[in-house]
Amino acid sequence: MPIINFTTCLLWLSYFISATVTAATLTINVNDTQGNMLSDSVVELIPVSLPEVASPPTESTLAHYEMRQQNRIFSPFVLAVPQGAKVDFPNLDRTRHHVYSFSTAKQFELQLYVGATGDPILFDKSGLVAIGCNIHDYMQAFIYVSKSPYFSISNEVGQMQLTDLPAGEYQVNIWHPWQVNVQQPSSLTLQNGENQLTISMDIERQDKPSAPPSGFGTYHNVSDTTG
């Protein structure tokens, strides 16, 4: 029967544990100055003490992104994508839409259409892109193009989680469509394992864009030329 060396076992166990805890997890809670949870907040972590990302993500490694037009609104209201991502804008309504953006980070125009467009739109510059419909003025949405691969959006209870983060120092950027002022970046040091962060934002609450009641205004069907 082989002799088991207790010290050797402890060393192997220690190595196994340390090898499995090689990254940080960050849970972020976002609320307003009254303490109410805040959805649709985008948080971007930019490494400070870590080397720059070796290479930008390739098309094969990027997830599929889309901003739908459905029930005469954009969905989602806020979308976050990495720099270099492509986004589709399918129109699931019976009425035509004319999607556009005049933002510095991305200017484009998808003229009156229903169903799928041709090629997706490439978002090759980081920054904020405001989306609108040239036919329905109340339709509004935003695409946050992140320079860093570490970003997320808060859910309906104001929470998000980032996993597999390298430990180290980060600059924390946060944005919300209702923010009163531009939120100044803050600093964060992540340790391997679980990390927690709470962020408070000064916002002016508004109603998200919603479709007008049925029969309100002019509703054009697919055969119309004006949408």
pTM: 0.81
Tell me whether residue 89 is in a domain.
Answer: yes
Structural domain of residue 197, as residue ranges?
22-52+64-201
Tell me whether residue 99 is in a domain.
Answer: yes
Residue owning tokens 């320079």? 147
For 40-90, what is each residue's pLDDT tens digit? 999 999 999 765 554 555 554 567 899 999 999 999 999 999 999 999 999
Q: In this model, does residue 154 exceed pLDDT 90?
A: yes
Q: Tell me the pLDDT band of 116, cut-offs 50, 70 and 90.
A: confident
Q: Which two tokens stand for residue 215?
A: 């029969």
pLDDT at 195: 98
Tell me whether residue 15 is in a domain.
Answer: no
For 87-115, what is each residue's pLDDT tens digit? 999 999 999 999 999 999 999 999 999 89
Collapsing DSSP to helix, strand or coil, 222 comes out as coil
pLDDT at 22: 73
**What percentage of the chain has pLDDT greater than the value 90?**
72
pLDDT at 52: 54
Tell me whether residue 40 is in a domain.
Answer: yes
Tell me whether residue 211 is in a domain.
Answer: no
Q: What angle do CA 180, 135, 227 make, to 5 degrees?
A: 150
pLDDT at 212: 76
What is the CATH classification number for the domain harbouring 120? 2.60.40.420
Residues 131-137, mean pLDDT to the nearest whole number: 94
Q: What is the mean pLDDT of the chain?
A: 84
DSSP state of 37: B
Tell me whether residue 149 is in a domain.
Answer: yes
Tell me whether residue 108 is in a domain.
Answer: yes
Domain total of the chain: 1
Tell me whether residue 2 is in a domain.
Answer: no
